[in-house]
Structure 1
Amino acid sequence: MSDATSDTTAYRPPAPPGPLRDFWNSFRENRGAVIGLFVFALFLFIAIFAPLLAPYSPSEQFREHLLQPPAWSEGGNWRFPLGTDPLGRDMLSRLLHGARYSFFIGVVVVGVASFFGVTIGVIAGFAPRWLDTLIMRVMDIVLSFPSLLMALVLVAILGPSLINAMIAIAIVLQPHFVRLTRAAVMSERTKDYVTAARVAGAGRLRIMFRTVLPNCLAPIIVQAALSFSTAVLDAAALGFLGMGAQPPTPEWGTMLAEAREFILRAWWVVTFPGLCILITVLAINLMGDGLRDALDPKLKRS
């Protein structure tokens, strides 16, 4: 009898997985998302340690090596593994430093757009009908314009620069956060836990930002990840059109703009910045799809 009792008391059922482990188990089912996460982490590492990884300064010119082809091409030089640009600057160094600008743009733009967009969306979800209608009609007007065209107009008004380009892209992306947050708040505000908080005497602001908003974060996180790639792409497009970062800033879109006239003579000055933009945006989009699958309970596999 004592042996049976000791066996019973010694057995403990395995503890359920924590929220982070449950998230990772769902996220890793999407192999594309895992690949995107590792590529994103690699580019983030490059962006952080670019000054240590780059062999030269991004603005240092080697006049005797103008348009030097990549090292493995005919006439290449292993001093410049990815070749040089029309001014003799090392392409590898400029690409590594360009990752810093692209990630800086993505973080700032998504941070500004999500902060104001989420705040306005929560207010619209709890606002009187007339104010809610006014806010949403303004957001619809902004969304009715093509995003890049709207950003171009705003940069033309503010003046071409990297900071003004980030402000313009943040304004363009903000309506997406407003609409998404409002829809999530409208579905949450009628639930029992909100009624219980109201009955318990919680103030309006506490209910809005402490009770309801944390339960709306899953779709907002997914939108933030997808907006990050949009910010990088739009910033590169504005830089290519001469309305974003200005030379000699080693931003990928600006590098493409500087190399347009040499596309037939020196393929590498256009190909490598374009590939960096393509790989970064693709990795973030794949990672965003994995976040959506992992955070949306309707999409989780049973």
Structure 2
Amino acid sequence: MADASSQIARTVATAPPGPFREFWSSFKENRGAVIGLVIFASFLLIAIAAPLLAPYTPNAQFRDHLLQPPVWEAGGSWQFPLGTDPLGRDMLSRLLYGARFSFLIGLVVVGIASFFGVVIGVLAGFAPRWGDTLIMRVMDIVLSFPSLLLALVLVAILGPSLINAMIAISIVLQPHFVRLTRAAVLSERGRDYVTAARVAGAGPIRIMFRTVLPNCLGPIIVQAALSFSTAVLDAAALGFLGMGAQPPTPEWGTMLAEAREFILRAWWVVTFPGLCILVTVLAINLMGDGLRDALDPKLKRS
């Protein structure tokens, strides 16, 4: 009985780690990725708890405190720790609510772009040669335009708004998912497990989306993480150009656009939104590098 128990204990001790434990073991080796994950999670919690953390509503105006400097500057006060903007609105409150819009933009854009991009990429990978060629030439045409310029054209056609900006950015990012998914499908569809599923009588839809696609998710997840930062950056650029979120929406790019004429008089109205964009995009990119190292077997450290 004792020998059996010790044998079981040795078996459990030598059992291979689960998928999540293996992923985390590889991910945490990249210190930059862990720092990026902590910053990303912090911003996400701030975005969720913005109504509880913000001292005021984002559009509340205090006309007696126009362009009041931050608390550490001469003339600042703890009433407005990060100062106020040209309309007397609290910068801290607007930055906190702005995190909500930035994360909403990232989630919606990545969700739309990845869904349609993955579906089209899988279909292209299994399509006849003429269908594959047609799909990929269309994607090449979209990729031939500078991403921000194409997004500007699409928003100009649809009309300036936050929703139209998200749709435009989704269209711009979609070809990246199509090409990546197609390449992964082409490398997987000739493997033995696909042939076995075909022999077992699985239909084409099941083979595409239940058999092959789950084995292609690694690079798609990495692309989604990196596209999240691109979406936040492009949305901020469109907002700065007046083609994205419209005032008084507390979106970081729109806040920069509203304050650009006061850059010499009140540095804080442009510095704080710019820093939020910079830190968020940097954190997501660092996290994306860690995901790539952890999910790509060729890049895993021995």
TM-score (norm 1): 0.98
What's the secondary structure of 2:125's corresponding residue? helix
Distance 2:124 2:192 in 1: 20
Pairing of 1:1-302 with structure 2 (within 5 A): 5=3, 9=7, 11-13=9-11, 14=13, 15-302=15-302
User: Alpha carbons of 1:132 and 1:72: their partners in 2 closer, same or farther (altered >3 Å)?
Assistant: same
What's the secondary structure of 1:111's corresponding residue? helix
User: Alpha carbons of 1:7 and 1:190: their partners in 2 closer, same or farther (altered >3 Å)?
Assistant: closer
Shift of 1:279: 0.1
User: Alpha carbons of 1:131 and 1:266: their partners in 2 closer, same or farther (altered >3 Å)?
Assistant: same
Distance 1:79 1:17 in 2: 52
What's the secondary structure of 2:298's corresponding residue? coil
Structure 1: any 5+ residue segments left out of the alignment? none
Distance 1:109 1:132 in 2: 25
What's the secondary structure of 1:259's corresponding residue? helix
Shift of 1:17: 1.2
Distance 1:72 1:78 in 2: 9
Distance 1:48 1:81 in 2: 21
Distance 2:296 2:214 in 1: 14
User: Alpha carbons of 1:133 and 1:55: their partners in 2 closer, same or farther (altered >3 Å)?
Assistant: same
User: Alpha carbons of 1:128 and 1:266: their partners in 2 closer, same or farther (altered >3 Å)?
Assistant: same
Shift of 1:16: 2.1
Using the aligned pairs only, state the percent identity. 85
Shift of 1:10: 6.5
Root-mean-square deviation (Å)? 1.2
Letter aligned with residue 179 of structure 1: R
Letter aligned with residue 189 of structure 2: R
What's the secondary structure of 2:299's corresponding residue? coil
Distance 1:232 1:222 in 2: 16
Distance 2:130 2:280 in 1: 42
User: Alpha carbons of 1:10 and 1:32: their partners in 2 closer, same or farther (altered >3 Å)?
Assistant: closer
What's the secondary structure of 1:243's corresponding residue? coil
Distance 1:6 1:33 in 2: 43
User: Alpha carbons of 1:6 and 1:123: their partners in 2 closer, same or farther (altered >3 Å)?
Assistant: closer
Summarize deviations over 1:11-50 as a string: whole Å, max 9, x none. 5230321110010000000000000000000000011110
Distance 2:282 2:130 in 1: 40
Distance 2:8 2:127 in 1: 56
Shift of 1:7: 7.9
User: Alpha carbons of 1:211 and 1:69: their partners in 2 closer, same or farther (altered >3 Å)?
Assistant: same
TM-score (norm 2): 0.98
User: Alpha carbons of 1:194 and 1:46: their partners in 2 closer, same or farther (altered >3 Å)?
Assistant: same
User: Alpha carbons of 1:6 and 1:296: their partners in 2 closer, same or farther (altered >3 Å)?
Assistant: closer
Shift of 1:6: 6.6
